[in-house]
């Protein structure tokens, strides 16, 4: 049965009434650049066919009821007393959107929500963002609110900053909203805008793997996001009219070393990685537009190596998986044009990796995951995904 119908049936079973609105938003992952948002750089992202369905119906009172079908969990609140509660976990994402509307002057009534997602928020993959975006669009439709798309983004941002007390990762929101099937999204933080780039490699398969490694913070990432570091990176940006976004980073090693000489060695290394990430995003964009998989894959592989060694982002388990990928089909004859690529993905020190390879290599790769489980003791989850579209109202 269609997942949207299953979600609606779950809503009926839970609340004894049909949902007035059903919205769907897809999960996503970031290919390159998700750690450089604070410097107003760029991020390359892909929405994928891991759908999150949100069913909503209005109530006659001010109560809010939340039900997550796959978790079989129920939470509740009220409009007048809505607040963040750690124990509410996934439901806080919905409450943040409700708060984003009410704090912006929009009037709401009580609501019943059903969340239906076969991939749980704990897996990453942008599921929590998909919940937020689908809820925002569903609530706007439910109450026929005079709220433009730009205002809807402000609703999400108020919910993130004022209710959840987290940063706004606009690449997350843009991927969930503006994606189109068969494309990736390039977000320019400096211009608060995004562009779509075709991902035209039908002979390739994309796999998202949750390595199930416990997330351990290797160092405090907030330390790199301090204003003084942003100013240093700003000194190293050069205006270029023919460059995407209108600027590039300085590539003169002497100039770079002089500007970054005021910070400690570990910070200099990490700031250099942020600069490299921007270059890798631009290399990937150029190759995607030219439909050259080799150049794109090279940028991805170099990004992982840079973030692993300089940013201290990866872990032995993720590195083992990616090393096995490169051994499957190394393309020895032309090492500059790899036929596969992979990288750690996710904000923070994530446990997810994405891999892109020839369809004929998929079985060998999945066999390495069996070996991975035997060696490391973690049972990975692996999803085949495709570039997919943004949020939609289904009814």
Q: Under a CB-based contact definition with an 8 Å cutoff, are residues 57 and 19 in contact?
A: yes
Whole-angstrom Cα distance, residue 304 to residue 313? 9
Backbone angles phi, psi at 238, to 5 degrees: -115, 135
Gap between the Cα atoms of 278 and 256, Å rounded: 15
Task: List helix spans (H) across 189-292.
Answer: 227-235, 253-259, 265-289
Residue 342 β-bridge partners: 355
CB 313 within 8 A of CB 36: no
Query: What is the rounded distance in angstroms from the CA atom of residue 50 to the CA atom of residue 130?
Result: 9
CA distance linking residue 384 with residue 355, whole number of Å:
10
Contact by Cβ (8 Å): 78, 65: no
Distance CA 108, CA 91 (A): 18
179 in Cβ contact with 387 (< 8 Å): yes
Exposure of 66 by Cβ count < 10 A (0-12 exposed, 13-18 middle, 19+ buried)? buried
Q: Rounded to the nearest 10 degrees, what angle do helices 362-376 and 316-328 cross at?
A: 150
Shortest CA distance to 205 belongs to which of 350, 317, 48?
48
Let me know if 200 is a catalytic residue.
Answer: no
Cβ atoms of 85 and 92 within 8 Å: the answer is: yes
C-alpha dihedral, 254 to 260 to 265 to 270, nearest 10°: -100
Residues 6+ apart with CB under 8 A from 292: none
Distance CA 323, CA 342 (A): 9
Catalytic residue among 172, 210, 251, 309: 172
Residues noted as catalytic? 172
């Amino acid at each position: 049965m269609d997942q949207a119908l299953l979600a609606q049936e779950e809503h009926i079973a839970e609340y004894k009434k049909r949902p007035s609105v059903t919205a769907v938003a897809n999960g996503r992952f970031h290919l390159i650049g998700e750690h450089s948002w604070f410097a107003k750089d760029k991020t390359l992202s892909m929405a994928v066919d891991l759908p999150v369905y949100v069913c909503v119906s209005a109530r006659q009172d001010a109560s809010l009821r939340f039900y997550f079908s796959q978790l079989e969990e129920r939470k509740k609140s009220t409009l007048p007393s809505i607040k963040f509660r750690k124990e509410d976990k996934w439901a806080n994402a919905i409450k943040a959107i409700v708060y984003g509307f009410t704090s912006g002057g929009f009037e709401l009534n009580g609501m019943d929500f059903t969340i239906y997602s076969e991939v749980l928020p704990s897996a990453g993959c942008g599921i929590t963002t998909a919940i937020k975006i689908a809820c925002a669009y569903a609530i706007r439709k439910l109450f026929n609110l005079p709220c433009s798309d730009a205002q809807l983004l402000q609703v999400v941002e108020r919910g993130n900053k004022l209710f959840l007390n987290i940063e706004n990762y606009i690449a997350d929101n843009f991927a969930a909203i503006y994606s189109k099937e068969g494309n990736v999204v390039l977000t320019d933080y400096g211009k608060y805008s995004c562009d779509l780039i075709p991902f035209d490699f039908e002979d390739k398969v994309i796999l998202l793997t949750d390595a199930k490694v416990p997330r351990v913070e290797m160092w405090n990432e907030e330390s790199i996001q301090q204003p003084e570091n942003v100013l240093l990176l700003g000194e190293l940006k050069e205006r270029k009219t023919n460059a995407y976004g209108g600027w590039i980073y300085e590539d003169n090693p002497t100039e770079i070393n002089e500007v970054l000489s005021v910070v400690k060695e570990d910070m200099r290394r990490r700031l250099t990685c942020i600069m490299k990430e921007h270059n890798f995003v631009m290399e990937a964009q150029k190759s995607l537009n030219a439909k050259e998989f080799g150049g794109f894959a090279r940028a991805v592989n170099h990004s992982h190596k840079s973030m692993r060694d300089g940013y201290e982002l990866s872990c032995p388990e993720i590195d083992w998986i990616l090393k096995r990928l490169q051994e499957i089909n190394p393309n020895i004859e032309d090492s500059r044009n790899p036929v596969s690529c992979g990288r750690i993905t996710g904000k923070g020190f994530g446990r997810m990796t994405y891999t892109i390879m020839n369809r004929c290599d998929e079985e060998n790769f999945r066999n390495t995951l069996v070996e991975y489980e035997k060696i490391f003791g973690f049972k990975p989850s692996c999803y085949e995904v495709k570039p997919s579209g943004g949020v939609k109202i289904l009814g």
